[in-house]
Amino acid sequence: MNQTPSKIKGTRAEETKQRILRAAGELFEEKGFQAVTMREIAKQAGCSHTAIYMHCKDKEDLLHQLVIPPLTEFKTEADELLHSGNESRSVLQQISMKWIAFCLKHRSIASVLITIKSVRVDEAEPELPLNQLRLDIYRQLEEVLITNLPSRLTAEQRLTCSRIYFYMLMGIVHTYIDNEEGTSVLMERLTPIIETTMDVMIAGMIQQFTVKGEI
């Protein structure tokens, strides 16, 4: 069946939009958000400088279009894990591996997804929607971590532990971010190491506060 002109036009517009998003992701990752211009993105995407504004109003809007869909998908899957009713240590293992796999799946734009124009994890009211989403995900990770620690921890101790946990996750990601193996193959190899890492981390956190007499 032949496509109607309107469908062809819509398909071409979507293809152009995807080229623009890919170009933006590559340039943001390579040069940083501030250094990249809309003209550079348009040139790499193979479209005119004016055409790019048919798909986004400015560079920040382009960043949101690039970042929000995959992060939203991760958040939805993490919510399902958090409300699965499974044992808390199992959920911690699963959500940790899911986050690492997510970052490695999007390794070509990992820093764009996570750090570009980001704010502190204790920011009360982030201005950008993408940062609210990032903080929501961080709090998901924090929530599942805290369920595996003594309930008597203070707010400051919980924040410290969640930061250590996130640093550890991102350390694993950046160790393998340039690895050429496929994500599924790599995760199969890393799973036993990640599981042991989680167990050691939790034991170490509990021991740290116990030795200091803080819990």
**What residue type is assigned to position 62 of the chain?**
L
Domain membership of residue 150 (yes or no) is yes
pLDDT for the residue 7: 53
The reply to whether 128 and 103 lie within a common domain is yes
Going by the DSSP 8-state scheme, the letter that residue 128 receives in this structure is: S
Q: Which domain holds residue 26?
A: 1-56
Domain membership of residue 61 (yes or no) is no
29's CB contacts (< 8 A; 6+ apart) are: 108, 109, 110, 111, 112
Q: Which two tokens stand for residue 88?
A: 């808390």
- Is the whole model's pTM more than 0.75, yes or no? yes
The reply to whether 86 and 5 lie within a common domain is no
Domain count, the chain: 2
pLDDT for the residue 205: 93
pLDDT single digits (tens) 2-34 = 555 455 456 788 898 999 999 999 999 999 999
Question: What CATH number is attached to the domain comprising 41?
Answer: 1.10.10.60
pLDDT for the residue 210: 75
